[in-house]
Every structure is written in C-alpha cells, then in structure tokens.
Chain A
Amino acid sequence: MKCPLETREERVLVAYSSRTLDGGDKELLEAHLQSCSACREFVRGQREVWEALDGWEAAPVSADFDRRLYARMQREVSWWQRMRGRMGLVPVYRALLPVTTLAALVLAAVLLERPSPPRVPPQPVTAQVEGLQPDQVVHALDEMEVLDQFNHMMKPDSSTPRM
C-alpha cells in the first residue's frame, strides 16, 4: 500500500481512526502503519479526537417533551375546530362534502357563464370562510381523530426524564 499521506488519501486514515474501515483495506493499512510513523502519528491524533468526542454526553430530553409536542399539535387543529363551530358544521359534514363541493363548482360555473353581471351578485354565504378549502377541513377532521388517540396515550404522570 502506498502511503495515504503521500497520495492524498487521508480519508482512509480518517475512516480507520473512526473504526469504519473494514476488510482488506483495514489489513492493508495496518500493514502500512507498521512501517510508517507519519501515518501512525496521524491515526493517533484522530483517535484522540474520536475519544474526546466520546466524552461529550447529551442531556436527557425534558420529561414534558411529548406533552408540549402534543399540545402544539392540538393548538394547530383547534383553529379548525373553532372554524367548524362557527360554520355550524356537524359531524356529517364530511359525508356532505362531495355535495357542497359540487354545489360550489356549479355556483362557480354559473358565475363564470355570466362574466359581466349587470349588478353585484349577492355574496355567497361561504364568503366568511374565505380560503377554507374542503380538503383542509377533512384534513383537520383527520387530525382531530388522531389527536384524540394521543390524548388517550398521554399520561399525566410522565415525570421521569427520558434518556
């Protein structure tokens, strides 16, 4: 094996130092290390870095991490819940969705058929929920179902730190 330091193949030495060099490459390098003090020195330095990094422990995750996460997820859907309340939607809304979507499309088609109406048409009742797409509502309903499951899973006494 040619000296990795001379052939600019130091990566082999880095891999060896981090113990990710396997098989034949490892044997070849180990044979080379017997006779090359420069490479031995390089590996020694890299191994020191590796060991120094080993000493760096990370702190345990806060015990309330999951609770905070689920609370954030809950907050995200509560907006939809409020919106649903304001619109007076009942749980069968989802079943009616294709119908309402179709109605919206028909209304749009009718409006497009008459590009310049002589007077301003009455505002559709859905104007107050501008930007609320039917699929978003379904999405929010799905979220709520999943979050209901989370609420069952979350136990109030999860006070042990998580490692």
Chain B
Amino acid sequence: MRSVRSRLGVLCLVALFMSLAGLLPVRSATPATLSQMTEDGRQLYLRGCSSCHGLDGTGTPSGPSLERSGAASAYYYLSTGRMPLADEAQPRRKPPAYSRAQIDLLVDYVASLGSGPAIPEVHLETGDLAEGGVLYRSNCGPCHTAAGIGGALSYGRAAPSVTPADPVEAAAAIRTGPGQMPVFGPEALSDHEVASIVRYIRFLESPPTPGGAALGGAGPIPEGFVAWIFGVGTLVLAVLWIGKLEGGHGRH
C-alpha cells in the first residue's frame, strides 16, 4: 500500500512538472479514492493558485475568495485558460495551463472549499436556435455585440468574443457571471433557454454569410473603410486611367 502511494506521489510530481513545463498532457491513470483526488487537487492548488487565493481559498489582496465559486466557476476559469492569472488587468482566454484531468482535480478541489453552482449540463439539441437568438440579443448583445465579437466596457475592461467558448464553458459563464458579467441564475434563464442561447452562440461561430465576406462582423466602421479604400481607391484609379487616355480630336 505504502509503495503504491509513494509511487503515485512521485508520478504525480513528475507529471506536474512536465505539464507545468507544457510538455505532456497528463492524466492520473490509476483510479483513486475521492479524498485522494481532492488531495491531488489540493497539491495542484497549493502550487498554482494559493499565492493569490490563499492557502485555504479564503482569498488574499491579489485574488478573491473561492468559497462561493463552485465547480462551475472553477471550470470556466480553468478551461478557458484564464487561471492562473498572468500579469494582466483582466483575465483573458488563453490555452489552458492544465490538462483536462488536472482541471478536473482542481475543479473538485475548489468545489470542496465551500458551496457554489455545479458545472451546468447543456443539451444543445433541446435548444431552439431562433429563441436563442432573441434571448442572446436582448441579454448578451449589449456587452458582447450582436455578432458576438466582443465589445468594450468602461475602464479598460472588455466583454470578450463569445464564439471561442465551447457549450459547457458558455453555460458556466452564463450561470456564474465571471468578472463584470451578470449572473443569470435559473430564475432568469431556464436550462432550456440556456441551451437555446448556447446553440445560438455556436451558430455565431460561423454564421452563414450569404452576402459575401463578413468584414469581421464589426459593422459600419469596417464597411466605411472598405468603401473608401477599395471603392474610392479603385474608382480614383479608374479616373486617373481614363483621364490619361487621349481622344481622337473630333474632325481635326
């Protein structure tokens, strides 16, 4: 028993170092007890997160308490690569710093710190695309823009693009309200409505563009630039060319 434990411990440590170095996606291979997993999560937490969130998760001046975050919030922040926070004013989406398995361990550990929402389940096929569009435009469009490309909020903050989010990340964001985003609990949006919204977000990832190039989805500003640079540009070249052509001089 003891040797298995220590071998596992060594394995974990090696895996941790390698994954921290970004070399290997690791999976804790052997089935382990619940407390065992929480313990592994705790180790990951102590190394990667405690400097800001405190040894016991109650927070420090450089990071908030995680006691009410729950699995949903932890999943959102870890799966979108926002945690561990790098040197940035607002957490940004990055490639995740941890493997899926390590994320699971950390999520379980953060969930064990207190009470908070579980990772939401999304059944995309139950969602209604058009309803999702209506709900998205009224609840989310004001910050994330109608096309989902993201927009500025005040004081250097921004609502990011929603299209990179996978269904679970998106649902977790809706349910937990990360950063300046409001929380949309079950009283505000039913599970069915969340599924509809997430379906619409997936649709926005590559919406049909029957009219040709979408110009980044940012509306009249890029359209104005295209009109001036391509439109006026080519027409002025045409004028230069035609203006230089020599006419035959009538009947002379």
Q: Do A and B bind each other?
A: no
